[in-house]
Amino acid sequence: MDDQGALVLFSGGQDSATCLAWALARFARVETIGFDYGQRHRVELACRAGLRAELTARFPAWAERLGEDHMLRLDALAEVSDTALTREAEIELRADGLPNTFVPGRNLLFVTFAATVAYRRGLRHLVAGMCETDYSGYPDCRDDTLKALQVAINLGMDRRFVLHTPLMWRDKAATWALAETLGGSALVDLIVEQSHTCYLGDRSRRHPWGYGCGACPACDLRRRGWDAYRRA
């Protein structure tokens, strides 16, 4: 158990919920941070409180480690971007091969603002759910990007933050398996029932892997990962 503190970038989705459990299993003090940037699937933000409450109820050993939650508004991100996550637009591939769900600068801003809060709160470790294994090609999810960002933040803030990305080299099936390792079937069931990942923000349909429209790239990735996990 590391007695230093950690700040988890916690959106309310599957990946960040798994990262929160990962941090609670390792650090004596864990806080969370979320970002409201006018996202189309902002229902994920409504899931955050329930996830935190259920984690502390079902895992008493983690309850005493889970501290304050922070929520920041980053409205300017929606104002300067034109994407399918910040506008009512059909999800499709752009001419450059990236999906139009890519919000330029989003993760760069998220980690930088998280570091700013961690600086004030005296937390050295940052935990984020970016992944380069199962992802949509977002350049700000790449390991090289985040390592470079860590260096820049440490130089610019004169601190020695450590940015952890426990899902970076795990596909979605392995992410489900990690949740099971951390908290057994109780944690897997909690993530299925309480988290939200669908890009369209649809919680009207319940699938074996959780709620969502079932057709967007996020739902498709989660479904395929769930199927592979259940077959393993």
Summarised one tens digit per residue, pLDDT across range 3-60 is: 789 999 999 999 999 999 999 999 999 999 999 987 877 788 989 999 999 999 999 9
Report the CATH superfamily, name and number, of domain 2-197.
Answer: HUPs (3.40.50.620)
Q: What is the arithmetic mean of pLDDT over 76-90?
A: 72
Summarised one tens digit per residue, pLDDT across range 125-171 is: 999 999 998 767 789 999 999 999 999 999 999 999 999 999 999 99
For 15, counting Cβ atoms within 10 Å of its Cβ (0-12 exposed, 13-18 middle, 19+ buried), the class is: buried
Please give the structure tokens belonging to residue 114.
Answer: 């998280």
Question: What stretch of H or E contains 206?
Answer: strand 206-207
Summarised one tens digit per residue, pLDDT across range 90-127 is: 766 676 766 667 777 889 999 999 999 999 999 999 99
Comparing 46 with 175, the larger pLDDT belongs to 175
Q: Are 30 and 65 in contact (CB under 8 A)?
A: yes
Q: What is the arithmetic mean of pLDDT over 192-197?
A: 95
Q: In the chain, what are the domain boundaries?
A: 2-197
For 231, counting Cβ atoms within 10 Å of its Cβ (0-12 exposed, 13-18 middle, 19+ buried), the class is: exposed
Please give the structure tokens belonging to residue 136.
Answer: 């949509």
> Given a cut of 90, is residue 70 above it in pLDDT?
yes
Residues 6+ apart with CB under 8 A from 224: 172
For the chain, the straight-line distance linking the first and the last C-alpha, in angstroms and rounded, comes to 30
Question: What stretch of H or E contains 30?
Answer: strand 27-36
Please give the structure tokens belonging to residue 88.
Answer: 């009512």
Q: What is the arithmetic mean of pLDDT over 209-218?
A: 93
CA–CA distance, 1 with 49 (Å, rounded to integer): 25
- How much is the pLDDT for 37? 83
**Residue 11 backbone dihedrals phi, psi, to 5 degrees:** -90, -25
